[in-house]
């Protein structure tokens, strides 16, 4: 079974600075998808970024980017120019692929990110 | 707004009550999920429905009973719950098929307290 580990329960960063959240996973599969979700105090889980394992290029979405190291099974999230609205719980998630059917997400424990003004 | 709604947002129930949680998705997806989020634990998958058929039941106690009458609606029927069932219950939906991004879209959750 796949597992996802987020070793940082809490992180804090000054507004406008850069922060990196860590995620490692364990799998014997070669094809899969990785996601970062954000859960603000409103509890709405929002997709931040997605990475396909077969792609060597790291995904980027505006101020959010990942460092995907397939051999090391590492998938970190970098947030640049941190904003107060980035404060939330961040979850790393794994999905087996490329199956076409419904597939569960396996989540890490989450990292609570605080932005200091 | 992610296109997935859940009602009620908050629910307090006694151990002998029967209640239902409702989820509705407006995204045209054909797969729906129930997750349980407890304090200090990772999100746990409870049920998966694909094309209105249950495809996964993650060893959930029978006091939780899912129902998926169509691809847009998902219910979780609750009866004789225990205090340890208090948690945030999240519904999600996704599309299945070739070349689909596969990400799941989540609702805002129902905060359940069992007294």
Q: Is pLDDT above 90 for B35? A: yes
Residue A7, classified by CB atoms within 10 Å of its CB into exposed (0-12), middle (13-18) or buried (19+), is exposed
CB-closest option in B50, B104, B108 to A101: B50
Q: Is pLDDT above 80 for B53? A: no
What 3 state SS string does A86-97 have? Answer: HCEEEEEEEEEC
Tens of pLDDT, residue by residue over B55-77, are 777 789 999 999 999 989 999 99
Pick A51 or B1 by higher pLDDT. Answer: A51
Does the beta-carbon distance from B88 to A43 stay under 8 Å? yes
CB-closest option in A46, A102, A109 to B2: A46
Does the beta-carbon distance from A101 to B56 stay under 8 Å? no
pLDDT band at B10 (very low <50, low <70, confident <90, very high): very high
Q: Is pLDDT above 70 for A100? A: no
**pLDDT of res. A57:** 93
Average pLDDT over residues B90-102: 80
Does the beta-carbon distance from A105 to B45 stay under 8 Å? yes
Q: Is pLDDT above 70 for B100? A: no
The rounded mean pLDDT for chain A is: 93
Tens of pLDDT, residue by residue over A63-73, are 999 999 999 99
Q: Does B53 touch chain A (CB under 8 A)?
A: no
The residue among B90, B93, B113 whose CA lies nearest residue B101 is: B93
Q: Residue B30: closest CA among chain A residues belongs to which residue?
A: A102
Paired with B28 in beta bridges are none
The rounded mean pLDDT for chain B is: 89
Q: What does the block give as tokens for B3?
A: 């296109």
């Amino acid at each position: 079974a796949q597992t996802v580990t987020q070793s940082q329960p809490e992180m804090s960063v000054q507004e406008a600075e850069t922060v990196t959240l860590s995620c490692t996973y364990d799998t014997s599969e070669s094809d899969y998808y990785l996601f970062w979700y954000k859960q603000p105090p409103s509890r709405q889980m929002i997709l931040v970024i997605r990475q396909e394992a077969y792609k060597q290029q790291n995904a980027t979405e505006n101020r959010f980017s990942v460092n995907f190291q397939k051999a090391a099974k590492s998938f970190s999230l970098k947030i640049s120019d941190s904003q107060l609205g980035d404060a939330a719980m961040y979850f790393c998630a794994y999905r087996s692929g490329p199956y076409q059917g419904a597939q569960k997400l396996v989540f890490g424990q989450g990292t609570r990110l605080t932005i200091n003004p | 707004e992610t296109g997935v709604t859940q009602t009620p947002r908050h629910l307090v129930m006694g151990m002998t009550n029967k209640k239902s949680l409702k989820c509705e998705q407006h995204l045209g997806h054909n797969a729906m999920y129930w997750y349980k989020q407890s304090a200090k634990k990772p999100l746990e998958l409870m049920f998966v429905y694909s094309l209105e058929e249950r495809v996964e039941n993650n060893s959930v106690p029978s006091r939780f009973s899912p129902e998926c009458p169509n691809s847009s609606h998902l219910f979780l029927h609750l009866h004789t719950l225990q205090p340890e069932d208090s948690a945030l219950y999240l519904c999600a939906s996704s599309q299945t098929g070739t070349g689909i991004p596969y990400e799941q879209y989540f609702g805002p959750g129902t905060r359940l307290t069992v007294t």
